């Protein structure tokens, strides 16, 4: 065999060897990449959650509200804060009259000063009065002596007694009170003071809570329209808010005669009228049933009792009574409402983790040994990117095609990305 031929054979062998090695490498790569991807696949644990099925409605709060109106004109002074809970008869506010009572105020101040001065000198005044009484008694005794001396003609003694009597007269004149406020009796001054105080109080009227409840200075004008009675009249077409303009009464604000200054809201019970767009959605609701709703900016969930269902063709209104949480909602007149139709407890898992295996819905899990297994699930609902599935019985079994089969548990590692996953595969 010539050298050239040998060289060609060796070259051919090298090429064949390279091709075989390349095939092996390519095969290995194709085999290993899915395995690597599978080993790195993300897993999640199921979460227990509650799937809430709701319908949207527009809600109108109906409360027992008593509006208090001003009986005089003047400046509002609050004695209670917005949202305070008060008993019946509690002071709420004062409206100070706008009439000019400055002269009465000045006179009252003068009388108070005089009363205080008289009270401070009561002891001294008593001493003076006692001394005056003693001198008057001495004067009477001198007059009797003068009369006796006149009868016996003792004129020299009469002269001396008259001089002594004149001294006592001068002394009693010096002890008399001046005709001023300070000289008037304490009783008279106190009577005058009470008279002026009464006049001022009648001009500055106090207002009291007519019953227990929550005080509010925000008046929207619907307090006497949405009344907690005749609920059958709250129909879909009539239940509407037009030109809502809330008046917020501020401290030291001027108020006119007969204008509203505040209101007291009975917080024992209140009502919510809900406009339902499609009554078929609530066909199972009945009067007397409990109803749960979510409302308010803080998404409060509250439970009440249905008292009226007013149907208007396909639409309608449900009115329910509540007795909790009004202190959080008292300032609401209407609000978006979520009416809860049902609550279902289940496992919450990512929707993209669910696959079809021979027309059976389920997920791939990785057991403790790293082996991939298929677990069937019964879907009970969806919420955004998550699906809620049946928890199963107390042994973790669900019914699939009339057979009991094991479903997922709280501790199963669910594979989220199932693109390169097969049942029976072993993962690291």
141: alpha, beta or left? (left if phi > 0; alpha if psi -120 to 50)? alpha
**CATH code: domain of residue 369:** 2.40.420.20
Query: Which domain-ending residue is among 185, 201, 217?
Result: 201
In a domain, 78, yes or no: no
Query: Are β-strands 260-265 and 213-216 bridged in parallel, bridged antiparallel, or unpaired?
Result: antiparallel
Please, what sign has the CA dihedral across residues 234, 239, 241, 242? negative
Same domain, 197 and 107: yes
> What mean pLDDT, rounded, does the chain reach?
83
In a domain, 8, yes or no: yes
Q: Domain containing 14: what range? A: 1-40
In a domain, 309, yes or no: no
Residues 418 and 382 sit within 8 Å (Cβ to Cβ):
no
Query: Which domain-ending residue is among 150, 181, 201?
Result: 201
Indicate the DSSP class of residue 371. Answer: B
Residues of the chain with confidence (pLDDT) below 70: 1-13, 18, 22, 24-41, 98-102, 121-132, 135, 137, 139, 142, 155-156, 158-184, 199, 244-252, 428
Same domain, 181 and 109: yes
pLDDT at 3: 56
Total count of domains within the chain:
3
In a domain, 268, yes or no: no
Taking each helix axis from N to C terminus, what angle separates 186-203 and 102-120, rounded to the nearest 10 degrees? 150
C-alpha to C-alpha distance for 125 and 130, rounded to whole angstroms: 9
Residues 193 and 77 sit within 8 Å (Cβ to Cβ):
no
C-alpha to C-alpha distance for 78 and 98, rounded to whole angstroms: 16
pLDDT at 106: 82
Same domain, 123 and 32: no
In a domain, 120, yes or no: yes
> What tokens does 392 get?
């199963």
pLDDT at 28: 54
Query: Which domain-ending residue is among 151, 176, 201?
Result: 201
Distances (CA, A) of 287 to 101, 277, 305: 60, 18, 8
Chain-centre distance of CA 41, in angstroms?
48
Residues 324 and 302 sit within 8 Å (Cβ to Cβ):
yes
Whether the full predicted model's pTM is greater than 0.85, yes or no, is: no
In a domain, 153, yes or no: yes
Runs of H (alpha helix) within 121-264:
122-152, 155-174, 186-203
pLDDT at 179: 39
Summarised one tens digit per residue, pLDDT across range 164-204 is 666 666 555 555 544 344 455 778 888 888 877 776 777 77
Residue 339, SS3? strand
- Rounded to 5 degrees, φ, ψ at 234 are -85, 80
> What tokens does 115 get?
């009363």
HSE-CB at 276 with a 13 A cutoff on CA atoms is 27
In a domain, 181, yes or no: yes
In a domain, 272, yes or no: no
């Amino acid at each position: 065999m010539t050298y050239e031929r040998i060289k060609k054979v060796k070259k051919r062998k090298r090429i064949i060897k390279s091709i075989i090695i390349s095939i092996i490498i390519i095969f290995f790569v194709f085999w290993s990449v899915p395995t690597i991807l599978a080993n790195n696949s993300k897993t999640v644990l199921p979460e227990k959650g509650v799937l809430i099925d709701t319908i949207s409605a527009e809600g109108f709060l109906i409360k027992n509200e008593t509006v208090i109106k001003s009986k005089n004109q003047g400046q509002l002074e609050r004695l209670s804060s917005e949202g305070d809970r008060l008993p019946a008869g509690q002071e709420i506010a004062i409206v100070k009259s706008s009439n000019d009572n400055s002269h009465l105020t000045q006179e009252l101040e003068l009388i108070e000063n005089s009363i205080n001065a008289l009270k401070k000198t009561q002891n001294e005044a008593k001493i003076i009065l006692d001394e005056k009484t003693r001198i008057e008694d001495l004067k009477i005794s001198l007059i009797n002596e003068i009369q006796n001396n006149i009868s016996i003609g003792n004129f020299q003694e009469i002269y001396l007694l008259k001089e002594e009597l004149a001294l006592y007269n001068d002394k009693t004149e010096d002890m008399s009170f001046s005709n001023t406020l300070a000289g008037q009796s304490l009783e008279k001054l106190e009577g005058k003071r009470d008279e002026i105080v009464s006049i001022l109080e009648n001009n500055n009227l106090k207002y009291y809570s007519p019953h227990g409840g929550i005080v509010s200075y925000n008046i929207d004008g619907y307090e006497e329209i949405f009344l907690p009675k005749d609920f059958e009249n709250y129909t879909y077409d009539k239940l509407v808010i037009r030109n809502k303009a809330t008046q917020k009464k501020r401290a030291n604000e001027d108020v006119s005669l007969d204008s509203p200054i505040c209101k007291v809201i009975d917080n024992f019970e209140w009502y919510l009228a809900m406009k339902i767009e499609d009554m078929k959605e609530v066909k199972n609701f009945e009067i007397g049933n409990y109803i749960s709703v979510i409302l308010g900016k803080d998404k409060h969930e509250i439970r009440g009792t249905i008292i009226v269902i007013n149907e208007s063709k396909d639409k309608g209104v449900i009115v329910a009574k509540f007795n909790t949480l009004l202190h959080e909602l008292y300032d609401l007149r209407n609000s978006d409402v979520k009416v809860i139709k049902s609550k279902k407890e289940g496992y919450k898992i990512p929707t993209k983790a669910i696959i079809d295996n021979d027309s059976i819905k389920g997920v791939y899990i990785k057991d403790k040994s790293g082996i991939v297994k298929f677990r069937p699930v019964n879907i009970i609902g969806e919420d955004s990117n998550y699906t809620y599935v049946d928890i199963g019985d107390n042994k973790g079994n669900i019914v699939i095609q009339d057979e009991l089969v094991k479903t997922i548990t709280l501790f199963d590692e669910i594979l989220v990305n199932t693109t390169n996953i097969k049942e029976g595969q072993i993962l690291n």
